[in-house]
Structures are given as structure tokens and as C-alpha cells.
Amino acid sequence: MIEIDGSYGEGGGQVLRTSLSLAAITGEPIRIAGIRAGRKKPGLAPQHLTAVRAAARICNAHLRGDALGSMQLEFIPSSPVQAGIYTFDVSKAQPGGSAGAIALILQTILLPLALAPGNSRVTLKGGTHVNFSPTVTYIEQVYLRILQRMGVEAKVKLGAWGWYPQGGGEIELQVSGGCQLGGINLWERGDLHQVRGVAVVTELPSHIPQRMANRAENLLREAHLKVAVKASREKGVAPGAGIFLTAEYQNSLAGFGGFGRLQLSAETVAEIACQQLLEFHHTGAPVDEHLADQLLLPAALASQESHYRVAQVSSHLTTNAGVIQQFGLAQIAIDEAENSVSVMHL
């Protein structure tokens, strides 16, 4: 049994998610201790518990420790990953519901399903656009489009938007199985083609997304960037607002966002997203800080080497590298002076 230290590195949920994905793919049993020990509320939160149960379901794993707040988990796969039709609902993980991020569950099961023979359709319910996790817009516009270049065929359809704290969002993920993963080289990003964005509200007046869109377009045009932001009112169970921007470069993609909250003007929300984008743009790097660690797992499973340059070497990146290397699939070299990542096969 592979012993994983959940407090390793930044001690967050990524240690758990990467371990679950690799246990499902390799069939290796794992034991994780100190789950999310680095967090204010350690142990399994609703989205982590849902990810555990989703990963277990697709490979018929035996579980011990799968409970809210648990800091210990045994995960023992009993079959290869099975393609199929699945539904996973974060709100069922705790009484009173949850807006836990469904993008994190998607990232836990996507590669196991993509590598398994047969196609899958997965319905995920919970938070689609919440802080401190990838948004479904980021998954759709950046993550899946880059993974497509590596051989992953998957698409996501957003049915309802779910914000913090109510959740209530829903997506459908379609995955074509039997993929052959290739490596990726993102050393130069090339010129910026355009910034595309969407400013969205649910259960709020239409002038709010329009103001977010106008402010973002004005700011980015002042910075001499080509930009188009669409304003829209969408379906959701509760009020929410946000703006999500995708920078499309010749060779790469990067995504940024801002969330509305009380006492924050629509213009300020747009400014937050634009500031993130402009800071990244000025680094000259092809890979944003979040994609940097999300690319490690597909790169480690690919048949060729991968090399890419990142905007920033984060603790998320170094933590994920350490976890992946425990499974003995790849050697990962991170150069903090060059902000570069290389993934070589053992």
C-alpha cells in the first residue's frame, strides 16, 4: 500500500485528488494520513468526500475513513476503471447542502475515465464558480482545450450556475475513453490573439454584467489588448455574479476571474480579473500558475516527455510533483530560477 502524507507541501486537497486519480489508474491501494492538515478546517470537506466517492465508484474501490472531517483514508481499487453514466452531487455530502467545487471532482475522475476503454457521461452537481478552485469556465476554456492537444477528448456542458454559498449548479461531462496521452511543449506562448470573456449574473439585474463587461473591455483596451466580453444573465438557484476572462495566445491559453460579493461594485469585480490577467501577461510565460500544476498529472501519464515554462513556481506545483513521484511513473524537474517544468518518464 502506498503511504501518502496528506500534510506534505502545502497540505491541501490536491494531495488527495492526485492520489485518488493515480490509485484509480494504476490499481495501487493507498493510505493517506493527515488529509488537508495545512488547512484551517482540516480533513475531508464535502467536495473532497464527493471526489473520494466518485473515484471509488469508477474503480469499485473499498474505502475506510470516507466521512466528513476525516483525516485518514484507505482507498483500495478492486477493478480497472469502468466507463459509464455517473452522477455525483456535492450537496448530498453534508446536511443542508454545499457549494463545494465540482471542478475538483471533475479533475479527479477525468483522466481515469479518459484512459479507460469506452465513453462516459458524468453529471456533477454543486458549485460551478467558487473561489479558491478552478471554475467550470476555466475548465472549459483553458484546461480541456490544452488537454485536447495531449489527446484527451472531453467536453463539458454547463446546465446551471452554482455560486458560494448556495451551490445548486450542474454540468454534464462527456469523456471519450481509450485516449493515448502525448506530451506537451509550451516554451513560448507567441503573440496574444485576443482576450475573450463572459460577465455573468444569476437572479440579479442585467445592468450588472454589462457594467463588468464594459469596465473590463475599457481596462484591457487601455493596455492595448484585443478584447471582447459578453454580458449575460444565466440560470442559477441564487443570486451571483462574476467575470471570467480567457487570454488566447498563439501557442497557449490562460484564464482569470473575479467574483461579485456584497459591498463590491461591478466595476471592482472586473478590475480584479483584469489585474490578474495583466500581471500574467507581463510575465511573458505561456502557462498560468494554476495550469502549471494541473498539467503535471497528464504529463506524467503521457508517452512522451513534457516541458513548459510557468508564470510562477507555486507550492501547489511542487506539492503535486512530490505526490506524483511517489507512484514511480515519472521524474519531474522544476527549475525555480528558469520557472520551468520538465516531466520525464522513468
- 149 SS3 class: helix
Spell out the long-range contacts of 260-267 with Cβ–Cβ below 8 A and sequence spacing 24 or more. 260/201, 260/208, 265/211, 266/208, 266/209, 266/211, 266/212, 266/215, 266/241, 267/211, 267/212, 267/215
User: CB of 93 within 8 A of CB of 68?
Assistant: yes
Query: How far apart, in Å, are the Cα atoms of 69 and each of 10, 89, 93, 229, 283?
Result: 18, 18, 11, 40, 39
Q: How many other CB atoms are found less than 10 A from the CB of residue 94?
A: 15
Strands 185-186 and 306-309: parallel
Establish whether 290 is an annotated binding residue.
yes
User: Catalytic one among 48, 129, 281, 316?
Assistant: 316
Establish whether 325 is an annotated binding residue.
no
Query: How far apart, in Å, are the Cα atoms of 323 and each of 267, 293, 297?
Result: 40, 11, 10
> Is 316 one of the annotated active-site residues of the chain?
yes
Establish whether 292 is an annotated binding residue.
yes
Contacts of 196 by beta carbon, 8 Å cutoff, 6+ apart: 141, 227, 228, 229, 245, 246, 248
Question: Where does residue 262 rank: exposed (0-12), middle (13-18), buried (19+ CB within 10 A)?
Answer: exposed
Active site members: 316
Q: Which residues define the annotated binding site for ATP?
A: 107, 290-294
